[in-house]
Amino acid sequence: MSILVKIADLDLSGKTVLIREDYNVPLKDGVVTNDVRIKATLPTINQVLEAGANIILVSHLGRPVAGEFDEAFSLAPVAKCLSNFLDFEVALIKDWTNGIDMSDKQVVLCENVRFEHGEIDNDEELARKMAQLCQVYINDAFATAHRAQASTHGVAKYAAISAAGPLLINELKALTKALREPAKPVIAIVGGAKVSTKLTILETLLEKVDQLIVGGGIVNTFLKAAGYRIGKSLYEPDLVDVANNLMKQAEEQGCQIPLPRDVVCGKEFNENTSAVTKMISDIKDDDMIMDIGPETADHLNKIISSAKTIVWNGPLGVFEFDQFSNGTECLAKAIAESDAYSIAGGGDTIAAISKFNVEDNISYISTGGGAFLEFLEGKKLPAIAILEEAARAWTAMERAREL
Ligand code: AMP
């Protein structure tokens, strides 16, 4: 893993520390309905407090219009939640960009950073103002690490010291273990609706894995490329050649892309349509493939049970409709039962993990949707890149001081 400055490397006593957290939590009627993300940040806050610092917390929530306060996107419910968990008041600061009056060992939360002009555009002036609020900036929000914005990127350029928080470091460690230094055999499962949105991921994974299981709408394009009739199933005609090339490339590299032998079809895309299991050779023109069949699920389970590392993104079928959820459920349970190091991420994947109650048996569930996918694509995440740059500068400074 790359070199980053960590909290333990720093003397934070008497300093003001600005921490970028991810408090983009679901709300209903002004109340936080899932506080997992908030709870996850408490160890970081306590560690920094114990080191003797003041804390300014910064986060976005949803997608408000910059420059307009909107109650629906206020972080007030998060401040309340934090106050309850920490057992002291965490004040919500509305006007914070020009300075915050703070007393010793205090924790404050800045109002939604996306209310500010310049956050999304990574504006230099806003980034500099944020940097001036603190002596140390800590980024602990992996889920926003793929975005170069003022609070995730610009501020790290201008802050005196920029470091990575423990949540961010754990996430990077887990992803690196699964992708950069995996125990073999490595099995990747890429499901979901479209090849087009996962093309780079498929290409990147193909070079790293022993078996690439494709599922969902994606497998329909591969089936078409392999010459099967797929009726009126969702597929992408423009990407049939690409799928063909990926299969050829896989063969050359000794990687397998197993295609389903049986599938579950419906006649319409809705939750009331009847599900019929068919061999792939029996698909009619009015059939829509919406899940893998039981024979295929059994075969995939065997592959999964032989894996030492499993990377999973995307459902194998329309798992939201119960009659087409069996393939994704079998897969989720097979991953949960496997001894392999397993890592999963992405919005629908997390929804499936929760629907089939396997949270506790997946080695690591990534908190990042977009950031997880970009990491899978092999991209450098801008918020991480800037922290690495800051770490190089900090290390050089420390060395010079020691001389
Ligand atoms: P993605 O956002 O690309 O991961 O796609 C997830 C969506 O793909 C889910 O909402 C699934 O219902 C949908 N999906 C999975 N399999 C199929 C399929 N065979 N046909 C149509 N949609 C599918």
275 lines ligand 1 (CB under 6 A): no
What value does the mean pLDDT of the chain take?
95
pLDDT at 23 over 80: yes
Provide the pLDDT for residue 283.
Answer: 98
Q: Which of 6, 194, 267, 355 is catalytic?
A: 194
192 lines ligand 1 (CB under 6 A): yes
Instruction: Tell me the angle at which helices 199-206 and 240-253 cross, rounded to the nearest 10 degrees.
Output: 10
| Length of the chain measured in residues | 403
Helix (H) or strand (E) holding 138: strand 136-139
- What are 305's two structure tokens? 């049970």
Provide the pLDDT for residue 292.
Answer: 98
What's the rounded mean pLDDT across residues 174-181? 87
Q: How confident is the model at residue 102 (pLDDT cuts 50, 70, 90)?
A: confident
CATH top-level class for 7-170+380-402?
Answer: alpha beta
pLDDT at 366 over 70: yes
With CA atoms as reference, report the closest residue to 309 among 214, 190, 207, 187.
187
Rounded to a whole number of angstroms, the CA Rg of the chain reads 24
Counting residues of the chain whose pLDDT is more than 70, the rounded percentage is 100
Q: Which of 105, 177, 229, 347 is catalytic?
A: 347
Which three-class secondary structure state does DSSP give residue 50?
helix
- What are 402's two structure tokens? 């020691």
With CA atoms as reference, report the closest residue to 140 among 264, 18, 241.
18
Mind listing the pLDDT tens digit for each residue in 140-162?
Answer: 999 999 999 999 999 999 999 99
Provide the pLDDT for residue 265.
Answer: 98
202 lines ligand 1 (CB under 6 A): no
pLDDT at 358 over 90: yes
Give the CA distances from residue 118 to residues 191, 361, 388, in Å, rounded to whole numbers and listed in that order: 36, 41, 23
Mind listing the pLDDT tens digit for each residue in 285-299?
Answer: 999 999 999 999 999
Q: Ligand 1: distance of its center to the CA of 202 in Å?
A: 16
What's the rounded mean pLDDT across residues 194-217? 93
Provide the pLDDT for residue 1.
Answer: 60
Whole-model pTM? Answer: 0.85
pLDDT at 2 over 90: no
Q: How confident is the model at residue 274 (pLDDT cuts 50, 70, 90)?
A: very high
Measured at the CA of 333, the angle between CA 327 and CA 338, to 5 degrees, comes to 125
What's the rounded mean pLDDT across residues 241-259? 95
Q: Ligand 1: distance of its center to the CA of 226 in Å?
A: 20
Say whether the peptide bond before residue 77 is cis (omega within 30 degrees of 0): no
Provide the pLDDT for residue 138.
Answer: 98
Measured at the CA of 56, the angle between CA 135 and CA 154, to 5 degrees, comes to 60
Provide the pLDDT for residue 347.
Answer: 81
- Of 1-10, 166-175, 290-299, where does the model show the most confidence? 290-299
Residue of 220, 224, 230, 234 to test ligand 1 pocket, by largest number of atoms within 8 Å of CB: 234
What's the rounded mean pLDDT across residues 39-53? 96
Q: Ligand 1: distance of its center to the CA of 301 in Å?
A: 20
Q: How confident is the model at residue 34 (pLDDT cuts 50, 70, 90)?
A: confident
Does domain 184-339 bear CATH number 3.40.50.1260? yes
pLDDT at 199 over 70: yes
For residue 37, indicate whether it is catalytic: yes
Measured between alpha carbons, how far apart are the two ends of the chain, in Å?
A: 27
Q: How confident is the model at residue 85 (pLDDT cuts 50, 70, 90)?
A: very high
Counting residues of the chain whose pLDDT is more than 90, the rounded percentage is 86
Q: CB burial class (10 A; 0-12, 13-18, 19+) of residue 65?
A: exposed
Q: Which of 62, 231, 369, 370 is catalytic?
A: 370
pLDDT at 367 over 90: no
pLDDT at 104 over 70: yes
**Domains of the chain by residue range:** 7-170+380-402, 184-339
What's the rounded mean pLDDT across residues 356-379? 90
- What are 286's two structure tokens? 């009015």
Q: Judge if 7-170+380-402 and 184-339 fold alike in CATH terms.
A: yes
